[in-house]
Structure 1
Amino acid sequence: MPKFIVERNIPGAEKLTAEELCGISKKSNAVVDGLGVPYVWHHTYAAGDKLYCVHEADSADAIYRHAKEGGFPADLVAEIKSTFGPETANAAT
């Protein structure tokens, strides 16, 4: 299944409390369970006024459906084509 990065503009995202994050997570999990399609939410980063989420789904349409049914914004949905980090510098060419 393709992986996607989802950018959500949420003012004050970095200041969400543990209780608020718990509620958001419960809502997201419930929506995922009700979609009836293969779907995995991996994790989310809160930075400034944005949330950056990593999800797996068959298509971007499933990501937008999750957002709509959960009442979450999905301002950008982009398929992740590659992942790299410091260790990539040591990869054989």
Structure 2
Amino acid sequence: MPKFLIERDIPGAGNYTPQQLTAISESSCRSLRGIDTEVQWLTSFVTADKIYCIYIAPDEEVIRRHAFEGGFPANVITQIHSVVDPNYADA
């Protein structure tokens, strides 16, 4: 199943409290349970004004639906084709 990087524009996200991040996480998980059991949220990275998420999903439409139902943006959705890391340099 394809893997996607989702860019969410959320001004001030870097200043969110642990409680606010927990609330976002709970909303995301609730929304996912109602959409598709095949969709997996792997991880998210919080920056000053954005949250970047990695998901495994059948297609972009499922991710857009998840964002709509969860009440948060999915401004840019990009399919990930490959992953590289420092281990490639050691080959």
Give me the TM-score of the superposition, normalised by structure 1: 0.93
Aligned to 1:22: 22
Query: CA RMSD for the aligned pairs?
Result: 0.9
Structure 1: which amino acid aligns with 2:3? K
Aligned to 2:83: 83
Aligned to 1:42: 42
Offset from partner CA, 1:37-79 (integer Å, 9 cap, x none) = 5100011000110000000100011110100111110010000
CA distance in 1, matches of 2:25, 2:7: 16
Structure 1: which amino acid aligns with 2:38? P
* Structure 2 portions without partners, runs of 5+: none
SS at match of 2:26: helix
Deviation, structure 1 residue 19: 0.2
Percent sequence identity is 41
CA distance in 1, matches of 2:79, 2:23: 26
Aligned to 2:32: 32
Deviation, structure 1 residue 87: 1.1
